[in-house]
Chain A
Amino acid sequence: MKIIVLLKRVPDSEAKILINKEGTGIREDGVKFVINTYDEYAIEEGLLMKEKVGGDSKVTVVCMGPDEATEAIRTALAMGADDAVHIADDSLSNPGPFTTATIMAKAIGDEEFDIIFCGKQAIDDDMAQVHCILAEMLDIPQVSVAIAFELSDDTTKATVSRRIEGGDEKIDTSLPVIVSCDKGLNDPRYASLPGIMKAKKKEIRKKSLADLGFSEIPGGGRSRILKWLPLPKGGECRMVEAEETPDAVRELVRLLREEAKVI
């Protein structure tokens, strides 16, 4: 069984995010980058399936990101992934989901695969689109926000559960399939030290856009990020207090009318 895991390098969720002066991205000083949280579930699920099926099963990590993303890729390799494709090109910065998916589709098209696991969303720009577009481009079924994944014994089908409002939805799918993973799917493992040591020697195939046969950034022009803006400073909060609720409401209405002048 050949499994591909998509891995995005994102700022650590605890990092202080500040927009740069030009409004073209974030300030990277003082920011630590990590594997996208949801991609960790994807890696773990890939490894679990590899362990389950055994034989010559293999997990390949595919990542698009700057050179520094190597660190995140090595972490995935330390967890147990077998090798990786790293798409890095200086001309790529903040590509939109369509561009990302187009490049990924090309890179993945060069690989063999039965299942693609990815995160349900990247915690930085929260698009949740890459996998949907990718499924279309590769022309394979897609199940998103998976909280359980069950491979049939003959490894030709899978049953995927998704948590939806009020219950779980179970979906049968044929393979190959792309599954986006949510929290709860599994408990991502902590890389063992022999794993970390071995990861240093595992192959990372680095590819530029040219290597993938693109002469320019694909998919541009469909959507474009114009500008990144800092959040407006939050206004002051005033608590309305009163013994009885109707009095509080009366006071609130008065404030809205006389001070805020909105009603």
Chain B
Amino acid sequence: MTADGIALLVILLGVLSAFAFVLRLLVRSLKLGKPEDRFDRWGERIWSVIVYVGAQARVLTQLAGLGHFIIFYGFVFISLGTFEHIGGMISPGFSYASIFGAKIAGMISWVQDVLGLLVLGAIIVSLFRRFVLKPLRLQIDDPKAKKEAVFILCLIFVLILLMFGMKGAGILMDPPKVDRAYAPVSAVVAGLIDGKADPHILERVFAWIHHVIIFYFLIFIPFSKHIHILGAVPNIFFRNLGPGGTLSRMDFEDESAEKFGNSEVRDFTWKQLLDLYACTECGRCQAVCPAYLTEKPLSPFRVIHMMRGHFVGDRQKLLEGGEEAEATPIIGKTVTEDEIWACTTCGACMQECPPFIEHVQKIVDMRRYLVMTESSFPHEMQPVFRNMEVNYNPWSMGFSTRADWAEGLDVPVAAEKQEFDVLFWVGCSGSFDTSGQSVARAMVEILKRAEVDFAILGVEEMCCGETARRMGNEYLAQTLIEANIENLNKYRFNRILTTCPHGFNTFSVEYPQFGYEKTVVHHSQFLLELAAAGKLAGTGNGSKGVYHDSCYLGRYNGIIDEPRELIKRSGAGELAEFGRRGKRSFCCGAGGGRMWMEETIGKRINEERVDEALALGVDTIYTACPFCMTMFEDGLKARDKEEEVKVKDIAEIF
């Protein structure tokens, strides 16, 4: 072993043990979190890693992702080279050529060269984006974040140059260490440095600088945003494989508990903490967030970024102090209450996030703390909670008037019928809101015409609890859910039919958490069934419309084609499309209980969406959600367009 081989080995061992120490710290820090079961469905988890790490499927949904793809694979292949080179320095004679043969080693070398060049290009484009184009998604009000990103890009750039230098010098060495035929780019570099200095010395100098940078990187990574190199892969492995639109069920058994919901690091689960290590700071979540795009204080990117900083700052103290250690509160400085309340729970952020970070649960967990432990929330929410508690609906309407909308329509009531095929869940909006009521009436008319065997719960129906749950009032939500389950269990029927995607989602994926499982259909699916069976005929109105995908229908539940198909069958005229549609639709602004909160900061989300619709020159906006409907109606009024553009639910076009 040569002298520098020994030196390298010593340094390498030092670096590796430091790295192991840091890895251990990371794993221990995750154990500060609460337990969460993500150890099922191993096959699917491994497949996730293949698709989303290996093939970078989500990264590549945007052109800029190509840069990441190149840098990612460039790094993989260059690391192979680094490994070979370090091995060779420590144990002379070690090389891929001696293990795999010249052909395979040559191919690795060739790929390194080509990818190296592409990486240089990708970094230049990245820096150009950061400094010149400044896309919205990369904006963050933490100057450190940007500096760090630029620093790392520059470091990788230098590493690639050094690699070419090493390989170029290697070509010139006697005997050549690198085969010119398999190193097209390095060969050019060799031409440039030929005769300038002794290639043997040059190769060593480049190699040392290169390896020291790599070692530095190894230690630096866990303390930078590039921790995502370590965090993202396990995060994708442990990702949520279940439906996206569920929130965790809280347990209220412990009556002596002093705290509910999350306010500090240890309140989150290990997986939620792993999320923080996985963020790549790509900002894709921010670029689609309705709150961020309308100048609200919330950016999902910022929330994750700030929480990671908080976690990193607090973890040492918590690890050393044990259970007694006092944690720094997250709510307040790290994440403000305004941010927490600005979220519509639309899920757009989670749809985009390449390492599958789950933002909504974290935000709701903090809402839970604010509502249930601190009783601190926007003042306009209090009457909403009260109304839900007393009258089982968010409006201040007496519960006994819940079925008043059906007066004179001769709507069958479950208590009288006992057994039927379809339970029509009218929902709060259908029961109390003027527009919602007209949808409910239209549905009843269709159900009767199609001779569907149905009934409503009438005054026994209570708010489904979805809104309370997303507003952080899990206790109230569970009270409502349990009361509803009790009432539903009194009758025999086959399916629940809802006109509200929020009810649809909560019955399909949240009620099962409470032991209630029933087939649920949204009216877009149900009406399409009727139409297919020839029981629903379109009248045709020749309008030019556009359909707006509700978050909880399209994004969370993948019901995207059904409503469109239905609109076509209704004989409507031209159907335009929003740019942001389907799984990538833009929230109307009502979700997550935002419907009940004031929206005083920035542009109103519903106006943003209405402007988008108006730009399409439509005369009808079709919705499949009563809350979207209200938001559009209000938005059109604000734009003074309520006469020219009509909002119609898909039940109102037959």
Contact = CB atoms under 8 A, between A and B. Distances in A.
Interface string A195-219: 1110011000000000000000000
Interface in A40-80: none
B255 A192 contact: no
B397 A14 contact: yes
A191 B375 contact: yes
A192 B379 CA distance: 15
Which among B374, B382, B396, B400 has the greatest number of chain A C-beta atoms within 10 A? Answer: B400
Interface string A26-49: 000011101000000000000000
B385 interface: yes
A16 interface: yes
A189 interface: yes
Interface stretch (B170-178, B256-264, B329-337): B256-264
B382 A190 contact: yes
Interface in B380-415: 382, 385, 387, 390-391, 396-401
Contacts of A192: 372-375
B399 A32 contact: yes
Contact of A15 (B374, B379, B400): B400
Contacts of A200: 255
A244 B465 CA distance: 55
Interface residues of B, number: 27
A25 to B, nearest CB: 17
B428 to A, nearest CB: 14
A30 B260 contact: no
B375 A190 contact: yes
A34 B398 CA distance: 12
B260 A16 contact: no
Contacts of A193: 252, 257, 260, 372-373, 475
A12 B257 contact: no
Which among B258, B374, B387, B459 has the greatest number of chain A C-beta atoms within 10 A? Answer: B258
Contacts of A189: 375
A105 B572 CA distance: 72
Q: How large is the interface on A (under 10, 10 to 19, 20 to 34, 35 or more residues)?
A: 20 to 34
A14 B372 contact: no
A194 interface: yes
A194 B391 CA distance: 23
A197 B372 contact: no
A187 interface: yes
A193 B399 CA distance: 24
A14 B391 contact: yes
Contacts of A195: 375
Which among A12, A13, A14, A31 has the greatest number of chain B C-beta atoms within 10 A? Answer: A14
Interface in B335-378: 371-375, 377
Contacts of B372: 192-193
A157 B397 CA distance: 42
Contacts of B258: 194
A197 B256 contact: yes
A31 B385 CA distance: 18
Contacts of A201: 255
Contacts of A191: 375
Contact of A187 (B379, B397, B459): B379
Contacts of B396: 13-14
Contacts of B256: 197
Contact of A32 (B257, B260, B373, B390): B390
A34 B399 CA distance: 13
Interface string B271-302: 00000000000000000000000000000000
A16 B401 contact: yes
Interface string B577-591: 000000000000000
Contacts of B379: 187
30 contacts: A12-B390, A14-B387, A14-B397, A16-B398, A16-B400, A16-B401, A30-B398, A30-B459, A31-B400, A32-B390, A32-B391, A187-B379, A189-B375, A190-B371, A190-B377, A190-B382, A192-B372, A192-B374, A192-B375, A193-B257, A193-B260, A193-B372, A193-B373, A193-B475, A194-B257, A194-B259, A194-B373, A195-B375, A197-B257, A200-B255
Given A194-B373, A197-B255, 20 more contacts: A12-B390, A14-B390, A14-B398, A15-B400, A30-B400, A32-B390, A32-B391, A32-B398, A32-B399, A34-B390, A190-B382, A193-B252, A193-B260, A193-B373, A193-B475, A194-B259, A194-B260, A195-B375, A197-B256, A200-B255
Interface of A: 12-16, 30-32, 34, 187, 189-197, 200-201
